[in-house]
Chain A
Amino acid sequence: MSPSAHLDLLAALGYAVFEQSTDGSFHSLGDAPEWLPAGSLMEAFPFLEVFLPDAEAFWADPARDHSTLPSDFWTQTDARGNNLHFCAIAVAGEQKLLLIERTRLRFEQTQAFVQYAHQTKLAHDEIARLGRELQRATEAKSEFLARMSHEIRTPMNALLGVAELLSETPLNAEQGEYVRIFRRAGDNLLNVINDILDFSKIEAGQVELEYIAFDLADVVQEAIEIIGVRARAKGLCLNSDIRPEVPPRLMGDPGRLRQILLNLLSNAVKFTDRGGITVRVKPDADQPAPCTLHFTVRDTGVGIPFDRVSTIFDSFTQADASTTRKYGGTGLGLAISKRFVELMGGRIWAESTPGDGSTIHFTARFSVAETTTALEARAPKATAPAALANRALRILLADDSEDNRFLVRGYLRDTGCVIDEVTNGAEVVEKFKGGAYDMVLMDAEMPVMDGYSATRAMRALESERTGPPTPILALTAHALKEARDRSIEAGCTDHLTKPITKTALLEAVHRYAPEHPNAGRIHVAVESWLKPVIPAYLEKRRGDVAKLRFALDQGDYATIRTLGHQMAGSGAGYGFAEITEIGGTLEESALAGDAARIRDGVDALDRYLNNIVTE
């Protein structure tokens, strides 16, 4: 092909062709296409400023002979405002050729491809951003709720507590009634707050179910007993029927199950004026799993209007807004129950004939509990709080609020407990160092040093002495799970949420009261270099107590003599003169075959070992 034939072909393909002269300028070869602007090439195409240096380097490189170098696309606007797209091509050969192409198709294809990639990425980023925004909003909401609940619960604590104390003072009939109304309204308000808090926690996904062993019959019975007071007051009867096929011991969340039943039962009582309410539990016929249970709560009340049956579990709807006004409550109880049921892998629904009562059904999944679990072994002692009386515990109470200290003092007045009071974390640690306390009641938020830091400091002190750890009960106005976790993490034994009722406080104090209160504690100062071996030594002696009792049962006086002898020889050396003395007595009595005296000796040793605190 002749050079001019080449040019014709290039022109036909839409290229403007230029050749570089030796002086570096460009002149056009062949006919200029109609789109080529008049004037100098560089004026017409500013883009060439950045492309030509690359083209020059390319042309200068002999290895590039007969190859081409394309430029990037560039776009510029013509006099009529249209966007035109161009691209340049440097061709290496005998001549230095520069082709300029006005492109449309190739440009648009590239653009479509990149556009798709960018838009996809932007959409992903936007979703991620919305996710972060939602997360922040949720956190802000639960933070706000936690703070609100704190702000409300703290004064509520004082109000309800004082009302409780007031109700225990001599009152005339009229005053008694006022106090009762006062307490009932306070309890209702507290229930409302708890409902809202519960609901928000569920909404924020902050609820985790427990998984522990429990007796189904106990849970049902407890719910019935609690609601029974109200049912009896209205003349209703309340029954339960658990089918024999239902396994009696289950694993699951008894607290939440109780809450569901309480919600359903209290609703049923609210809307029933005659007849009764029955709770039934049977295996779920639709589920092959043995432990999916079907609960029904049936009442003989006003029933639910047909068109409302499906919406009563939505938040904030009670069958009729007017019922909220008439019967009280937040209308959240059923919505909360629904969420709990769903968390338990079940569903909840209602059946009703208006005027003829309604039945609420729900299913929930559990598993069958093995025999006694470790958890049960730790279950609280079941004795009544009254058993606290005359235990004479020494309690260290730390709270900066005078109102709260007044309440706790009032609650514990008749128990014989001796209470030392401090108002900040630093004082608590100071007092704890000096005195032997059976229990510490610790407000979490105090000035100077908060309850968490104080608890940590006290646990650190304890790690340097022997003897069982002192129960520390955190008292906070925070109801969220994080608050509880925080207390436990700091080393608290348990966590009580304000407002604390008298019953709850007494129950907790009783539950955690040590078997052998400090009142009878024996403090022994030991040499610091002996401290590391003391725990093992005392542990061995505790083992001896069991061996001694066994030997005594068997009439094995030889063993008793040996053990007594060993104790007599070692006790004082470790700083426990009492052990030496008891050991001597045991040795002597064993020689004499005096069983009664041996028994006294072993008891004395047991007591001594249980009450000893080394410092």
Chain B
Amino acid sequence: MLKKKICMVGQFGVGKTSLVRRFVDSIFDERYLTTIGVKIDRKDVSVDGKSLTLMLWDLAGEDDLAQLNVSHLRGASGYILVADGCRASTLEKAAELQQRITQTLGPIPFVLVVNKADLRDQWEVQSSQVAQYGWPTFETSAKAGSGVEEMFLGLAAILIRSHAASEAPGQ
């Protein structure tokens, strides 16, 4: 079966681990347990009638002391840039990570995710700020579950299409 590596990247505490847990185990935990190193999960999905295994690499969030280890993205087919709608600085951090990753690995598919949509009345991130990047964007709530499945499957669909395009003869 087709296997695709997808990395979760973003500032610490934005909800990377929670998004994966919601998607893989359908649970949410209010408690914050920061990720150290990498947490790897797998999930079989089917998109456009094709089955594939997603290897979800949940990378430790960046903070002032530790930078993302870009080598963890080696072999990734795509990645998910996560920001927390309640903290505007996490969106800037996401944009900065996107640049760094592109510099090292070249252009690979990704989506931008603004998480914690259940706290929208506390959001500091404006949709115009998000729109300025022109990236495929999802608003999610790992807590309520909204947008999570669409987001993962959305990226999976992008991966399948680009996979198909790269395999198609004469392209």
Q: Which of A50, A75, A77, A107 contacts B75 (CB 8 A)?
A: A50
Is B71 close to A, CB under 8 A?
Answer: yes
Interface mask (A62-96 → B, CB under 8 Å = 1, otherwise 0) = 00000000001111110000010101000000000
- With known contacts A47-B40, A53-B74, A129–B86 Cβ distance under 8 A: yes
- A73 and B40: CB pair below 8 A? no
Q: From residue B28, how far is it (CB to closest CB) to chain A in Å? A: 16
Q: Is A503 an interface residue (CB 8 A)?
A: no
Measured CB to CB, the closest approach of chain A to B37, in angstroms, equals: 3
Q: Which of A47, A110, A119, A129 contacts B36 (CB 8 A)?
A: A110
A536: chain B residues within 8 A (beta carbon)? none
A114 to B72, CA, bound (A): 19
Contact check, A75 vs B13: say whether CB atoms are below 8 A apart: no
User: Residue on A with the closest CB to B12?
Assistant: A118
| Known pairs A107-B36, A115-B33 / 4 extra A-B pairs, C-beta < 8 Å | A47-B38, A73-B37, A118-B63, A125-B87
Decide if B124 is an interface residue (CB 8 Å cutoff): yes
Dominant SS at the A interface? helix
- The number of residues on chain A lying at the interface, defined by a beta carbon within 8 Å of a beta carbon of chain B, is 29
B63 lies within 8 A of A72 (CB)? no
Q: Nearest chain A CB to B8's CB is how many angstroms away?
A: 13
A111 within 8 A of B: yes
Contact A73 B38 (CB under 8 A): yes
What is the CA–CA distance of A504 and B105 in the complex, to the nearest angstrom?
Answer: 75
Contact across chains for A75 and B74 when beta carbons are under 8 A apart: no
- Closest approach, in angstroms, between the C-beta of A192 and any C-beta of chain B? 33
Interface status of B46 (Cβ within 8 A of chain A):
no
**Which of B12, B71, B124 contacts A129 (CB under 8 A)?**
B124
Contacts of B65 in A (CB 8 A): 117
- Smallest Cβ distance from B12 to chain A, in angstroms? 5
Complex CA–CA separation, A122 to B12 (angstroms):
9
Q: Given A77-B41, A118-B12, A122-B13, answer yes or no on A49-B75 (Cβ-Cβ < 8 Å).
A: yes
8 CB < 8 A contacts A-B:
A50-B72, A72-B38, A74-B40, A75-B35, A75-B39, A85-B36, A129-B124, A133-B122
A54 sits at the interface (CB 8 A): yes
Q: Is the CB of B40 within 8 A of A76?
A: yes
CA distance A133 to B123 in the complex (A): 11
Say yes or no: B71 contacts A114, CB within 8 Å. no
Cβ contact within 8 Å between A119 and B63? no
Task: Please encode chain B, from 21 to 36, with 1 for each CB lying within 8 Å of some chain A CB and 0 for all others.
Answer: 0000000000011111
* Top 5 A-B residue pairs of the complex, sorted by shortest distance between their CB atoms: A73-B37, A72-B37, A75-B39, A74-B38, A50-B74
Closest to A45 in B: B40
Question: How far is A424 from B132 in the complex, measured between Cα atoms in Å?
Answer: 42
Closest to A49 in B: B75
CA distance A23 to B59 in the complex (A): 31
CB interface residues, A 359-393, toward B, < 8 Å: none
The answer, among B32, B36, B86, for a CB contact under 8 Å with A73, is B36
Given A115-B34, A121-B63: A46 in contact with B122 (beta carbons within 8 A): no
B99 an interface residue at 8 Å Cβ cutoff?
no
A49 and B39 form a contact (CB under 8 A) = no
B34: chain A residues within 8 A (beta carbon) = 111, 114-115, 118
B69 proximal to A (CB < 8 A): yes
Residue of chain B at shortest CB distance from A87: B37
Counting CB contacts under 8 A, is B55 at the interface? yes
Shortest Cβ distance from B59 into A: residue: A72
Interface string of A96-140 (1 = CB under 8 A from B): 000000000001001100110111011001000100110000000
Seen from chain A, the residues whose Cβ lies within 8 Å of a Cβ on chain B are: 46-47, 49-50, 53-54, 72-77, 83, 85, 87, 107, 110-111, 114-115, 117-119, 121-122, 125, 129, 132-133
CA distance A124 to B39 in the complex (A): 27
A54–B71 touching, CB < 8 Å: yes
B15 to A: closest C-beta gap in Å: 12
Task: A83 to B58: give the CA distance in the assembly, Å.
Answer: 13
A114 B36 Cβ-Cβ under 8 A: yes
Distance in angstroms between the alpha carbons of A85 and B86 in the assembled complex: 31
Residues of A within 8 A of B55 (CB): 46
B86 touches A72 (CB 8 A): no
Q: What distance in Å separates the Cβ of A419 from its nearest Cβ neighbour in chain B?
A: 50
B74 — which chain A residues lie within 8 A by C-beta?
Answer: 49-50, 53
> Chain A residues with Cβ under 8 A from B87's Cβ?
125, 129
Residues of chain B lying within 8 A (CB to CB) of residue A117: 63, 65
Interface residues of B in 61-96 (CB under 8 A from A): 61, 63-66, 69, 71-72, 74-75, 86-87, 89
On whether the beta carbons of B122 and A129 are closer than 8 Å, the reply is yes
In the complex, how many angstroms separate the beta carbon of A518 from the nearest chain B beta carbon?
55
Tell me the minimal C-beta distance from A360 to chain B in angstroms. Answer: 44
CB distance from B167 to the nearest CB of A (A): 21
CB of A72 within 8 A of CB of B72, answer yes
Beta-carbon nearest neighbor of A71 in chain B: B37
Instruction: Pick from B38, B63, B64: contact of A75, CB below 8 A.
Output: B38
A46 to B64, CA, bound (A): 28
A114 to B32, CA, bound (A): 12
Q: Report B120 CB to chain A, min CB distance, Å.
A: 14
| Nearest-Cβ distance from residue B92 to partner chain A, whole angstroms | 13
Judge whether A119 and B38 touch: CB under 8 Å. Answer: no
- Cross-chain contact of B39 among A76, A87, A114, A122 (Cβ < 8 A): A76
Contact check, B124 vs A74: say whether CB atoms are below 8 A apart.
no
Q: What separation, in Å, do the CA atoms of A117 and B66 have in the docked complex?
A: 11
Q: How far is the CB of B69 from chain A (nearest CB, A)?
A: 7
Instruction: Give the nearest-CB partner of B24 in chain A.
Output: A77
The docked-state distance in angstroms from the alpha carbon of A523 to that of B120 is 67
Distance between Cα atoms of A133 and B33 in the complex (Å) = 27
Complex Cα gap A46–B35 (Å): 17
CB neighbours (8 Å) of B40 from chain A are 46-47, 74-76
Known: A46-B55, A72-B38. A119 touches B86 (CB 8 A): no
- Rounded to whole angstroms, the CA-CA distance of A114 and B36 in the bound complex is 8
The CA of A74 and the CA of B69, in the complex, are separated in Å by 13
- Across the interface, which residues of B come within 8 angstroms of A133, CB to CB? 122
Return chain B residues, CB-CB under 8 Å to A54: 71
- In the bound assembly, the distance between CA atoms of A221 and B148 in angstroms comes to 73
- B38 touching A118, Cβ below 8 Å: no
Closest to A77 in B: B41
* Among B34, B64, B66: residue with most chain A CB under 10 A: B34
List of B residues within 8 angstroms of A76 by Cβ:
39-41
Which A residues touch B38, using CB under 8 A?
47, 72-75
Chain A residue at minimal CB-CB distance from B17: A75
Taking the nearest CB of chain A, how far is it from the CB of B14, in angstroms?
11
Q: How far is the CA of A118 from the CA of B64 in the complex (A)?
A: 10
Q: Mark B2-21, 1 if CB is under 8 A from A, else 0.
A: 00010000001100000000
| Contact partners of B37 in chain A: CB under 8 A | 72-75, 85, 87
Please name all residues of chain B whose beta carbon is closer than 8 Å to the beta carbon of A118 when the two chains form the complex.
12-13, 32, 34, 61, 63
Q: CA–CA, A83 to B32, complex, Å?
A: 16
- CA of A115 to CA of B38 in the docked complex: distance in angstroms? 15
Closest to B88 in A: A129
Shortest beta-carbon distance, A113 to chain B, in Å?
Answer: 9
CB neighbours (8 Å) of B71 from chain A are 50, 53-54
The complex places the Cα of A73 from the Cα of B12 at a distance, in Å, of 17
